[in-house]
Structure 1
Amino acid sequence: MPLSARFGLVLASLVCTAVAPAASPEISYTGNDTVSSRADGGLPPVVGVQNIQVYRANRTHSEHAERLPDTYAHAPMLAWWHGRFYLDFLTAPVNEHDAPTATSYTTSEDGVHWAPARILFPAMPIPGGGLSVMHQRMSFYVSPDDRLLATGFHGKTPSPNDGSGFGRVVREIRRDGTLGPIYFLRFNRNSRFTETSAPYPFYTTSPDPGLVKACEALLANKLVTAQWWEEDRAEDGFYRLQGKAISIFHRADGKAVGVAKDAQHSVSGDEGQSWTRLGFMENIPVNSSKYWGQRTSDGRFVLVYNPTNRLRHPLALITGDDGKRFDRLLTVHAELPVQRFPGKFKNLGPQYVRGISEGNGTPPDGALWLTYSVNKEDIWVSRVPVPIVGAVGDSVNTDFSTTPLGAMPTGWNVYRPLWAPVQVVEAGDGHGHALELRDEDPYDYAQASRVFPSTLDGVIRFAVLPRQESGRLEIDLASARGERPVQIALTESGLVEARHEGIWMPAGSYRTGQWLAFEIELRHPDRFVLRIDGKEALARTAYFTDLVPSIDRLVFRTGAYRERGDGGHELSGADVRTPACAFLIDDVSITSKP
């Protein structure tokens, strides 16, 4: 049965002009994973992925350079140019498609520490009064002569991307960080918006011939401008492909593949001059969130998306060798914090993913860099190590001594909100380096986890130093799919507890500034012994809380476990940091029992 019949949908996400007749799908997923409604989907993670919050919406204590109080943030785009990441995104006062909606941007040298966001494209006055709604399906473009252009589209409420908007603007971002003037790049003739109506001049009037040349190179690139159709919808022959939120990459055979919303795809053998429509991708959910396809630095291919038909969590990926057949569904972003600010059309979850488009730079670390919004109010990036794997074969033995101060350790999965950083620090008292989880976020937490070879007979050792007796650190041993058979907590009242068959049991106490040495001995098939500072901490051997076929992850988290966050209510105190709590982790070793 075709997917269109299976889901009872008649979709128009991708229509082609100058095309051959529809052909069979050329992208398929060969796996048969079941995805749950948990934040992680019940899926294993990519090993070593780092989730990094870039921008946190804040109504009353804004950290935006222009102090924007907007609580809607969405649709980020990413580029790498001359040793720096460039990221832009939309912001609106409360709701999606509110007027005014502006485009902001930020930059970073390392992808972890980002400059305060600034306005890139403000909303403009529109005919009849009011202000525009910025919208973007594509933004950055590096020209053949190495100029970085940013673009955006001025639409209007309630639908800035339905063809009734005003036109696309462009400005140059210079290497010294300054911005060039704003010009119109293409007017939307459907709405009869012309030069006489525009608050900005047309690009051809620029006194800089190099800028004009760069704009004309962009306009001539049918692969890049294919992403504009949804907002423009002109019938003047400019567009060869019609689709929503198209992601374009080249396969190993040299053909360009366009992947659009609702799992639609097309292929071009002449750099976008003509296309063959391929319909739905096979065995891939039909979701109105975005899809992202890319060739990775190891020559393989990745497709990133939300792996259900409706929910926008988790963010996951599949990989393949030829850009056609993909397998191994793994999570990239498996957390779903509570939504702090309600708003119209503010879906929950990590969504609207974009990577770095071909031609827009290649970070030197060889990783796959992605950007997306979470709950349509915060902007994140993820660094995905390449090669992309979901399991490891070596035992773990690390003391963080070789990890630079301020960095995140290689091979660890990290969830790093702005107000809950994870990084290696100097522990003090001659101890050396340790991994710090610090938390000042009233509604989120810091998390670090380490994937290790599957076992039910292993021994896990680590040391913990609490910086206070009022915070909470939870420690889990988890399965590949997220069940938590072993659960330990350093509680807010200075106690250590562990769960036996779901029941919290006392396991001692802790003090500020004193290291505790933990040892967890797993006993096949469903028991464990907990030792602290060499002594058994529980009155009895404990049984697993969740029954699992294997244990694959060690997890540290500065807060209570959440299956998934919710939304729809304004949360008090969301704009103000809480008193800091911090925990140091060191001397982690994980081995299978001989």
Structure 2
Amino acid sequence: MDQLSGPVRYTGGEIANLDYHHGQLRPAVGVQHYQVLRANRSHPEWADGFGWTYNHAPMLAYWNETFYLEYLSDPVSEHVPPGQTLLVTSRDGIHWGKPLVVFPQYRLAEDVRRPDGVVLQAGTAAVMHQRMGFYVSPGGKLLALGFYGFCPTPKDKPNDGLGIGRVVREIGIDGAFGPIYFIRYNGHAGWDEENTQFPFYRESPDAAFLDACEALLTDKLATLQWWEEDRSSDGFYAVEEQRALSYYRLPDGRIVGLWKSSNAAISSDEGRTWSLVEDVPSLIMAGAKIWGQQTSDGNYALVYNPSPTGTHRWPLAIVTGENGTDFDRMLLAGGEVPPRRYGGQHKDYGLNYVRGIEAANGMPPRGSLWITYSMNKEDIWVCEIPVPVQDRIHSHVRDEFTDLVSGGPVPGWNIYSPLWAPVTVEDFPSMADKSLRLADRDPYDYAKAERVFPESRRVEIRCKISAGQSDHGQLFIECCDGKSTAPLRVVFDSNGYIRVLNQGYYVEVHPYEAGVWYDVAISVDAVLQNYELAIGGIKKKFRFFAPVLSVERITFRTGPVRRDPHLETRVQGGDVGDGDEPVPEAIYYINLMETNGEEL
């Protein structure tokens, strides 16, 4: 088969090196990741209120100037009951509220014999599994959806077609949840109004809600996402045997459908019929999801894990194109993979099950591409990718942060901001003189902020830094090339000294004190393979510890380089321990960051 065959194709020359979480891909400029939920078994009050550590399959909508995020949750492992679906909201995509149960745990009220002969006893708990979370109706109603299935034995799956059916409820303009109804039963598996605990949607007295449900049921694109859990042969689904549909519209009105395992097809009649579903060999991927959409600039983007290894899902890449069928320029959308803190069945490593906002489900602020994913199937994240998607900038930078909104986005910066290691704009040292703040009290993660500048062989970098302490914590400062190779590393270390990595060993350059501002100047020379560090009146030259031909960004990170998990790390394993308690917080402020030099 021709590698570039299929309804869509990746034609770029970049591929991911999976020995690195970032894949050695050049990052898209200005991408910002924010953690929504940090699982915590010992302190449920700090997380979801339940202490459940399997959290996965998030989905996203933007409605009523609010982000809505829905995700699945089980106590420990995938497909091991009980299960429920939670919903969390945000006005800005950065600060998120407390998760609320939108579809609760479901237990059978009486014994039920399935068509396969298996008897589900009264009290058996269901688990949830859904490929679709939200629907905004033509009348402006926001519906949340879920699916209840059963896994009575380890061989069973909730998406085998034998589950109960799909449930729906309205989310009101005030955020309140309406009653839960079934919108479609798995009738072929023996489920109907007589043996289920929620009423059928047609029993609702709300005419507008009924109209919204009817509109959804006639939407062949939206409902095609349901096939996997339903698997009915009643002709409701135009495409069968495919999982996790993502779709978008081409300039000529046709619809591109993308499924797991590199499958794609095209519909010319709004999803009622499709071309033959084809394998797309140029989209290298395994069983993780792929997300495709038209971006606000009229171009197109696909976001997925460009990896044939389904158990180790990194990096998260984005490819772009102008016509919706041809994509190139593979860039890094997400390349951070912290340790998995909790063991469990099928808890794959990495950035799992990416989903975005369907075209009918809202246009978020700034015209950005917003996506959500689960990290290690235990934490929930969102990510904002600025549009147009860019891989370079062409003028040097000077950032002072004072004109930015405190607690808001940081334009031009690539941000990785866990809940226990947030990256924020703060009114420090004053409202008239703000700073970028990196804090860290997470024993297994770090805060990270990167600033891209023009690719240069020689560049002068200057920043002002103040540490909130000198007896714990670390701030690593690195310059990187397009593949994230760092030729130099400067550290505000936990012993009160600024140190550099020199020929494989750290050497002390200058002491530092808490609360003192330090001007740090780094003159990078990729021609001579060295750099000069100036701080506190001291200037010293050092050789690169790794060769690069150019540099194009500076990184600030509150922890050392992360190399685990790696491709040989076993997916099944126990808890790491001590992940539920914070460590003493370390805080660092960046008050100025500027670069000068000659662009390549």
Q: Could you tell me the TM-score, scaled by structure 1's length?
A: 0.94
Number of the residue aligned with 1:549? 549
Describe how 1:425-574 pairs up with structure 2 within 5 A: 425-428=426-429, 432-469=433-470, 470-523=472-525, 524-536=527-539, 538=540, 541-565=541-565, 568-574=573-579
Number of the residue aligned with 2:98? 116
Number of the residue aligned with 1:305? 304
Is contact 1:27-1:282 (8 Å) kept?
Answer: no
C-alpha separation in 2, matches of 1:452 and 1:593: 11
How far did residue 573 of structure 1 move? Answer: 1.8
Number of the residue aligned with 1:213? 211
User: What is the identity, as a one-letter code, of the residue corresponding to 1:156?
Assistant: F
Is contact 1:123-1:154 (8 Å) kept?
Answer: no
C-alpha separation in 2, matches of 1:328 and 1:525: 30
How far did residue 407 of structure 1 move? Answer: 2.0
User: What is the identity, as a one-letter code, of the residue corresponding to 2:92?
Assistant: D
Number of the residue aligned with 1:577? 582
How far did residue 431 of structure 1 move? Answer: 7.4
Is contact 2:39-2:47 (8 Å) kept?
Answer: no
Describe how 1:128-139 pairs up with structure 2 within 5 A: 128-129=121-122, 130-139=124-133
Q: Does the residue aligned with 2:302 lie in a helix, a strand or coil?
A: strand
User: What is the identity, as a one-letter code, of the residue corresponding to 2:581?
Assistant: V
C-alpha separation in 2, matches of 1:490 and 1:392: 28
Number of the residue aligned with 2:143? 149
Is contact 2:15-2:330 (8 Å) kept?
Answer: no
Is contact 1:351-1:374 (8 Å) kept?
Answer: yes
How far did residue 421 of structure 1 move? Answer: 0.8
How far did residue 572 of structure 1 move? Answer: 2.1
Is contact 2:510-2:536 (8 Å) kept?
Answer: no
Q: Does the residue aligned with 1:89 lie in a helix, a strand or coil?
A: strand
C-alpha separation in 2, matches of 1:308 and 1:534: 48
Deviations 1:426-460 (CA, angstroms, capped at 9, x unpaired): 22278711110011111100000001111121111
How far did residue 83 of structure 1 move? Answer: 0.6
User: What is the identity, as a one-letter code, of the residue corresponding to 1:450?
Assistant: R
User: What is the identity, as a one-letter code, of the residue corresponding to 2:11?
Assistant: T
Deviations 1:118-167 (CA, angstroms, capped at 9, x unpaired): 10101211342311111110010011111100111111113001111110
How far did residue 190 of structure 1 move? Answer: 2.5
C-alpha separation in 1, matches of 2:210 and 2:428: 55
Describe how 1:59-208 pairs up with structure 2 within 5 A: 59-63=41-45, 67-126=49-108, 127=112, 128-129=121-122, 130-157=124-151, 158-208=156-206
Is contact 2:499-2:510 (8 Å) kept?
Answer: yes
Is contact 1:342-1:569 (8 Å) kept?
Answer: yes
Deviating above 6 A after TM superposition, structure 1's stretches of 4 or more consecutive aligned residues are none
C-alpha separation in 2, matches of 1:231 and 1:255: 26
Is contact 2:402-2:432 (8 Å) kept?
Answer: no
User: In terms of mean alpha carbon deviation, does 28-37 or 579-588 score higher?
Assistant: 28-37
Shift of the 121–468 alpha-carbon distance from structure 1 to 2, 3 Å rule, reads same
How far did residue 282 of structure 1 move? Answer: 4.0
Gaps of at least 5 residues in structure 2 are 113-120
C-alpha separation in 2, matches of 1:360 and 1:123: 27
How far did residue 65 of structure 1 move? Answer: 7.5
Q: Does the residue aligned with 2:194 lie in a helix, a strand or coil?
A: helix
C-alpha separation in 2, matches of 1:64 and 1:516: 35
Q: Does the residue aligned with 2:476 lie in a helix, a strand or coil?
A: strand
Is contact 1:251-1:322 (8 Å) kept?
Answer: yes
Q: Does the residue aligned with 1:197 lie in a helix, a strand or coil?
A: coil
User: In terms of mean alpha carbon deviation, does 189-198 or 336-345 score higher?
Assistant: 189-198
Deviations 1:366-413 (CA, angstroms, capped at 9, x unpaired): 000000101000000000000001111010111111112122320000
C-alpha separation in 1, matches of 2:163 and 2:430: 62
User: What is the identity, as a one-letter code, of the residue corresponding to 1:224?
Assistant: A
Deviations 1:288-327 (CA, angstroms, capped at 9, x unpaired): 0000000000000000100111131111110000000000
C-alpha separation in 2, matches of 1:90 and 1:2: 38
User: In terms of mean alpha carbon deviation, does 62-71 or 343-352 score higher?
Assistant: 62-71
Describe how 1:222-261 pairs up with structure 2 within 5 A: 222-242=220-240, 243-261=242-260
C-alpha separation in 2, matches of 1:427 and 1:520: 24
State yes or no: 1:47 paired with 2:52.
Answer: no
C-alpha separation in 2, matches of 1:542 and 1:64: 45
Is contact 2:26-2:332 (8 Å) kept?
Answer: yes
State yes or no: 1:29 paired with 2:10.
Answer: yes
Identity over aligned pairs, percent: 41
User: What is the identity, as a one-letter code, of the residue corresponding to 1:525?
Assistant: L
User: What is the identity, as a one-letter code, of the residue corresponding to 1:28?
Assistant: R
Number of the residue aligned with 2:117? none
Number of the residue aligned with 1:12? none
User: What is the identity, as a one-letter code, of the residue corresponding to 1:312?
Assistant: R
Number of the residue aligned with 2:273? 274
C-alpha separation in 2, matches of 1:457 and 1:28: 37
State yes or no: 1:418 paired with 2:400.
Answer: no
Shift of the 24–491 alpha-carbon distance from structure 1 to 2, 3 Å rule, reads closer
How far did residue 32 of structure 1 move? Answer: 2.3
Shift of the 410–320 alpha-carbon distance from structure 1 to 2, 3 Å rule, reads same
Q: Does the residue aligned with 1:294 lie in a helix, a strand or coil?
A: strand
User: What is the identity, as a one-letter code, of the residue corresponding to 2:63?
Assistant: W
Shift of the 342–240 alpha-carbon distance from structure 1 to 2, 3 Å rule, reads same
User: What is the identity, as a one-letter code, of the residue corresponding to 1:166?
Assistant: I
C-alpha separation in 2, matches of 1:218 and 1:133: 24
Count of residue pairs brought into register by the alignment: 572
User: What is the identity, as a one-letter code, of the residue corresponding to 2:150?
Assistant: K
Shift of the 502–122 alpha-carbon distance from structure 1 to 2, 3 Å rule, reads same
C-alpha separation in 1, matches of 2:588 and 2:270: 53
